Amino acid sequence: MRLPLLIATLLAASVVQSGAVQDAAVLDVRREDEPAYEPYASDGVIVRLAVAAQDAPEGASLRVEPAAGAALVFQGPGGALPYVLRDAVTANEGAVLALPMRSEGTGSVAEFGAVVSPGYVSPPGTYEALLDLTLLSPSGEVLSQLVAVPLGLLVPARAQVVLAGTSGAFDPALSVAFIDLGTLTDGVFRDVFVTVRANTASEITVSSQNGGVLVHDERADQIVPYRIELDGVSAVLTQPLRVTRSPALDWAGTAYPLRVQVDEVGPVFSGTYRDEIVIDVVPH
């Protein structure tokens, strides 16, 4: 789900005039779109901005750089997300950009983006970077300036789960369709690992289609109860088991042991017995 965020706000321009410039141009920051940074996506994100100017002379340029004392990062509740500036026309990147102003309507405009690469797993929240925008004459004189212009970037809460040892991909929910217990005997068990990756504490819910019993494929009246243990918490699934965990803040996540065990088979018919377990993970 895409969440709205504030990309930039217009601060009062600090206008610097020189003797060679009769009327200082007025800068206006326009947001191009409202992206969010997805911590487990294969693609990064570009915060796109357009800076428009009125009364700028032909040949004027825009210098874009981090605000004085600011690093080239989005700062937020979980630390920093590094970024690089990118010219929207040439795709040139750097810590400082010098962009030619191109004509648009009755004024001129320059477009650029702040690019955050994929691979960072940061806690959810709003992250902010500060830029200085300076309009320069063809000879390098300052015509107008906006200082400490904020760029906002939202990192949403995300959680995914996969059953270790399977070919499945990470997903917000998974259905454990097949854990082979082999021949049912008293005390038989199987161990698997539920791997969760999340950028915040998350609730893991384990539920059973049959209410915590294995059911005969052909005779629904023939059942074998079982129990589970997830990361040290034991339960029978007459109702869902819920535990809260805080996985490692990385792409690998944390593997939590899950044991499925039959304590007593009882006097039941021979045949194949099944149940389906569904594991959901929801970020707090």
Q: Which of 46, 228, 71, 65 is nearest to 135 (CA)?
A: 65
Looking at residue 106, its pLDDT comes to: 82
Looking at residue 173, its pLDDT comes to: 65
pTM equals: 0.80
Looking at residue 4, its pLDDT comes to: 23
Looking at residue 10, its pLDDT comes to: 31
CATH class belonging to 26-155: mainly beta
Ordered by start, the domain boundaries in the chain are 26-155, 159-283
Indicate if the alpha-carbon torsion angle 90, 98, 112, 158 is positive or negative.
positive
Looking at residue 180, its pLDDT comes to: 85
Q: Is 159-283 in the same CATH topology as 26-155?
A: yes
Region of 214 (left: φ > 0; alpha: ψ -120 to 50; beta: rest) is beta
| Mean pLDDT of each 10-residue bin along the chain, 284 residues long | 26 36 68 83 93 92 93 92 97 96 91 96 95 96 94 94 69 68 92 94 95 95 96 96 97 94 93 92 94
Using CA atoms of 61, 67, 69, 70 in order, give the dihedral in degrees to the nearest 10. -120
- Fold of domain 159-283: Immunoglobulin-like (2.60.40)
- The residues, ordered by sequence, that sit 6+ positions from 55 with a Cβ below 8 Å of its Cβ are 23, 24, 25, 26, 107
How many C-beta atoms lie closer than 10 Å to residue 70's C-beta?
15
